[in-house]
């Protein structure tokens, strides 16, 4: 009978996941050079050409076809390439490396913490501008703290947790396709008037893909101190947030640390009324640091639990 050690190293799925995490943490792909960033730019370029319909139904149809035009060829190409690889594990490793983005989120969080610690609003605004859809030019220190906290939460949730979840479900192809679809949802977010309803279809697709992993991760955040208060507040407040997965995650993190999140936001000179979530503490540099540590420890627990599940499933322990 094989030992547990031998079974772990015989499990290619686990080796790929751990190898990708190790390589990514040591040599992360810079945000500016990341294929997801190039994909995002191409999505914006495509939208500028096809998002020209004034009719609601035509705009919705254009957005749906644009999503298929971007994702279907990518999916077919990845499926066709897989049998051609001499070592499938290396192919899976490469795809997972392209999909996951832990270090860039960590880097952004650390830079925001330093900028807010020095009360450097211009620096903080510049850091958030490329990664959020809302306008950052007029954000106050309070607004920067809120926007920074929400960005950190959703960055870790989607670029790490959801990627790992879909890797466990469908391998590297599923992980990368999730990441590419999520980038389209961000590029064509209906929160901006010019992409409503153009981006509704891809946003709904991502909402479905987010639902299980983000809610499971939210429950992991709830666990521990103040679990009862956090869970009840999460259930109550999440009803007022439009997307079910992010609703649980943001309210869980906000209530866990009593951080004030949500509230009005400006998109393309248009003020959007959003529900207020979390507690009453205005997020500062200290609170962002606490939030980052909370999420990092929960992500490590997620990786550990997912590793055990994959080991059981693939080795039949």
pLDDT in tens, 39-62: 999 999 999 999 987 789 999 999
At 31 the pLDDT is 82
- Residues 194, 268: contact at Cβ < 8 Å? yes
pLDDT per residue as tens digits for the range 252-283: 999 999 999 998 888 877 888 888 999 899 89
> What pLDDT, on a 0 to 100 scale, did the predictor assign at position 24?
87
pLDDT for 8: 46
pLDDT of residue 316: 57
The parts of the chain modelled with pLDDT lower than 50 are 1, 4-10, 317
Residue 11 pLDDT: 57
Query: What pLDDT sits at residue 6?
Result: 47
pLDDT tens digits along 73-98? 999 999 999 888 888 889 999 999 99
Q: What is the pLDDT of residue 266?
A: 86
Nearest Cα residue to 185 out of 171, 203, 201, 167: 203
């Amino acid at each position: 009978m094989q030992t547990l050690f031998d079974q772990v190293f015989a499990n290619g799925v686990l080796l790929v996941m751990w190898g990708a995490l190790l390589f990514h943490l040591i040599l992360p792909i810079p945000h500016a050079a990341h294929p997801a960033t190039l994909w995002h730019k191409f999505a914006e370029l495509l939208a500028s050409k096809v998002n020209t319909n004034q009719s609601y139904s035509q705009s919705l149809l254009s957005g749906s076809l644009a999503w298929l035009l971007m994702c279907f060829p990518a999916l077919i190409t990845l499926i066709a390439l897989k049998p051609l690889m001499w070592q499938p594990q290396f192919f899976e490793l490469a795809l997972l490396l392209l999909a996951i983005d832990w270090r860039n989120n960590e880097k952004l969080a650390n830079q925001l913490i330093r900028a807010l610690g020095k009360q450097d609003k211009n620096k903080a605004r510049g850091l958030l501008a490329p990664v959020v859809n809302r306008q950052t030019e007029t954000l106050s220190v309070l607004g920067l703290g809120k926007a920074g906290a929400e960005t950190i939460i959703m960055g870790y949730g989607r670029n790490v947790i959801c990627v790992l979840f879909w890797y466990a479900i469908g391998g590297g192809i599923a992980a990368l396709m999730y990441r590419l679809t999520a980038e389209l949802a961000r590029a064509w977010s209906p929160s901006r008037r010019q992409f409503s309803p153009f981006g509704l279809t891809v946003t709904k697709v991502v909402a479905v893909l987010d639902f299980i992993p983000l809610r499971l991760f939210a429950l992991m955040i709830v666990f521990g101190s103040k679990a009862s208060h956090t869970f009840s507040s999460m259930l109550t407040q999440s009803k007022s947030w439009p997307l079910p997965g992010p609703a649980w995650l943001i309210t869980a993190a906000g209530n866990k640390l009593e951080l004030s999140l949500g509230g009005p936001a400006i998109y393309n000179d248009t003020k959007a009324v959003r529900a207020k979530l979390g507690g009453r503490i205005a997020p500062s540099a200290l609170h962002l640091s606490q939030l980052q540590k909370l999420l990092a420890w929960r992500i490590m627990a997620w990786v550990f639990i997912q590793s055990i599940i994959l080991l059981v499933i693939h080795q039949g322990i």
